[in-house]
Amino acid sequence: MSVTELRPNIDHWQERVDMAASFRWVERLNMHEGVANHFSLAVNDDGSQFLMNPNQMHFARITASNLLLLDANDPETMDKPGAPDPTAWGLHGSIHRLCPQARCVMHVHSIHATVLASLADSSLPPIDQNTATFFNRYVIDVGYGGLAFEDEGARCAAMLTDPKQKVMIMGNHGVLVIGSDPADTLNRLYYFERAAETYIRALQTGQKLRILSDEIAEKTAQELEDYPSQAEAHLREIKLILDEEGSTYAT
C-alpha cells in the first residue's frame, strides 16, 4: 500500500499529505530559504482555519502529521505552545483572514523570482509560453515595509483583491502565490520561477527581447488556465516519485 493511502486519525489528512509533498519538492528544487519560508492551506469554508508548517522546521523534514492547524481569528495564537513563526502568522494569518479566495498560499524567496522582485521594473513581459502564463495575472508590491509581521501582512493581503491575479511579486522580498489547493498553487509557483528564470537569462544576453502581443499573451494564458488536469498530474507524479524513494513526507 502506498504511504499516501495511509489514514492516521488526524483531521484533513489528504490535505496534509499534499502539503507535505509540496514542501519536500520545493526543497528539492532549491526554492526554499532554510527554515524561513511558509506554505498554508485553508481547511474550512471561510478560509480562516488553515494548515501551516511548524516554526523553524526545514522543508526537507516536514511531514503530514507535524503541520500546524491554526485559526486566523484566534488572537491568542502566538501565546500558545508550538506557536508559528511570527512573520508567517503575520502574512499567512492576514491573508486567510482577509482573502477567502486564497485557499492555498505559498511564499518563497526562490532565486529568479527574487531577482525579478529586486529590479526597479519587476514586471514580467510575455517572451515565451511560461512568461505568457502570467500575463495580467500578477500584482507587484512596491511598498516593502520590512519583515511580514501583522501590519505588513495585512498590507500585503489588501493587494490581493483581483481574483485574476494569483501571484504577488513582492518587491525587495520574493514571491507569493495563491491557488485553490496545493496542486494548483505548487504548479503555479513552479512555473513562475521557471518564467522568471527565462526572463532573467534573456536579460543577461543584452539583446533585444521578442515580446508577444497582448492578444497572443492573453490567449496563451487563458489556454493554459483551461488546460485539463496539469496541476493535479504534476503533484500526483511528485508524490509517486517520493513514495518510490521511501520518503517520510506522508507520515
For residue range 69-102, list pLDDT tens digits in order.
999 999 999 999 999 999 999 999 999 999 999 9
Q: What is the DSSP letter of 223?
A: H
134-160 b/e with 16+ CB inside 10 Å = b? bbebbbbbeeeeeebebebbbbbbebb
Grid cell at residue 213 = 502581443
Confirm whether 180 is domain-assigned.
yes
Residue 233, CA distances (Å) to 30, 187, 228, 229 in order: 21, 10, 9, 6
Does some domain include residue 195?
yes
Asked whether residue 251 is domain-assigned, the answer is no
Asked, for residue 50, whether it belongs to a domain, the answer is yes
Residue numbers of the domain that contains 132: 3-244
For residue 234, being part of any structural domain is answered with: yes
Tens-place pLDDT, residues 140-166:
999 898 876 778 889 999 999 999 999
The pLDDT value given to residue 9: 74
- Tell me what the mean pLDDT of segment 195-208 comes to: 98
- 249 within a domain of the structure (yes/no): no
The H or E element containing residue 194 is helix 182-204
Report pLDDT for 148. Answer: 67
Asked whether residue 185 is assigned to any structural domain, the reply reads yes
Does residue 250 fall inside a structural domain? no
CATH number at residue 82: 3.40.225.10
Is the pLDDT confidence value at 4 over 80?
A: no
Q: Is the pTM of this model over 0.85?
A: yes
Average pLDDT of span 24-33: 97
Please give the tally of structural domains in the chain.
1
Q: Please, which pLDDT band fits residue 1 given cuts at 50, 70 and 90?
A: very low
Task: Name the percent of the chain lying above pLDDT 90.
Answer: 91
Q: Which residue has the cell 505552545?
A: 81
